[in-house]
Amino acid sequence: MGQLVLGVIWYAVLLFSLTMHEASHAWAAKRGGDLTAYLGGQVSLDPRPHVRREPFGTLVVPLLAFAFSGWMIGWASTPYDPRWAHAHPHRAAWMSLAGPAANLALVLAASFAIRLGMLAEVFEAPAAIGFTQIVVASGDGLASAFALCLSILFTLNLLLLVFNLIPLPPLDGGGAVGLLFSEQTARRVQALLRHPQLSLIGILVAWLLIGRVFGPIHLLAVNLLYPEFGYTVR
């Protein structure tokens, strides 16, 4: 498969995944009473409002990452009213969890499509798993591109899910910590976690941590997808 086609598939899956993640944040905020993201057009699966808000994370970084490493990563963001979050810390925490919930839904959707394709004998389990090889096509042609798309969808959204659930600011897991406390205590925790220095430390620690924890989680997820094969680390 040519690099151009591979890049197009990677970017389509990444942009769709980021859009789902941020639209879910925006939808949850709207449901909780904050219309900031809704008025910005972000309660939508149209990627354009999300790209306009974060062009560096949705355009520049993914293309640079692919050029230098052959895979893509990126980010987007959803605006919210901090006064609303302070008044309703539990609603704000549920808003934080909505993004990772969308990534989990996409992992499950990819898993369902993979198993359905195997029942139809269009797909089969690979001899060895990799970031972009969770399932392979039984033949050539369009099925191979679709298998690659599903493989990236599965692994990328699992990565976004795990990374964002790390309970450190400014990640979604840090925002969800407030659910563990009363609303009064959650407000204090919320104020503490907003400190810029803590956010920088949180990103650095999460980046180091994800390299250690994602491999075993990915292997576990693949074995849940294929309980009959029992993949191991090679």
Task: Give catalytic residue positions.
Answer: 22
CA distance 190 to 193: 5
Q: Do 22 and 77 meet the contact criterion of CB atoms below 8 Å apart?
A: yes
CB 55 within 8 A of CB 16: no
Letter for the amino acid at 110?
A: A
The whole-angstrom separation of Cα 175 and Cα 190 is 7
> Using CA atoms in the order 46, 52, 56, 58, what is the torsion angle rounded to 10 degrees?
0
Task: Report the C-alpha gap between 14 and 106 in whole angstroms.
Answer: 12
Nearest to 221 by CA among 98, 123, 122, 107: 107
